[in-house]
Amino acid sequence: MSHLEMKLEQKDKEDKNKNIVIRGLEVEEKEASKSVEVLIKEKLGISASIEKTDVINMKSNQKIIIVKVTTWKDKKEIMQQKRKLKGTNIFIDEDRTKDERRIQRLIREKSYVEKRKRNKERVGSKKFV
């Protein structure tokens, strides 16, 4: 990576520092801010203030909402409480740079392959070999 690319990557990271990404929440673009505030307040039990929301329409009719919260503390609270959404089809993640998303995808794929291997190698005595 060149020096300029590293600087751009660092700037991108700083811009995304207080952002979260929400997937699976059905919203209209005009109502996105209100819907996100309701989700955070009612489902997570947090009173975080939102600076801005952007809705991105994906190819598969799925919408991704990028939310910028006002403080890093609010983001930390949301990330800690996102486990309360378990069992719903709503997912909250950190907003990552393109390179970080690529690395995370590789890690998930590797983890999936390893998990599948262990399931195939299961022995009758409830141990993995």
Taking only the tens place, the pLDDT of each residue in 69-118 is 988 898 899 889 889 988 888 888 888 877 888 888 888 888 888 877 77
Q: Residue 46 and residue 36: Cα distance in Å, rounded?
A: 12
Q: Model-level pTM? A: 0.72
Domain extent listing, the chain = 11-96
Name every residue whose Cβ is closer than 8 Å to that of residue 99 and which is 6 or more positions away in sequence. Answer: 9
**Cβ(66)–Cβ(8) under 8 Å?**
no
Structure tokens at 33: 């801010």
CATH top class, domain 11-96: alpha beta
Name every residue whose Cβ is closer than 8 Å to that of residue 73 and which is 6 or more positions away in sequence. Answer: none
In terms of average pLDDT, the best of 14-18, 63-67, 97-101, 112-116 is 63-67
**Cβ(43)–Cβ(18) under 8 Å?**
no
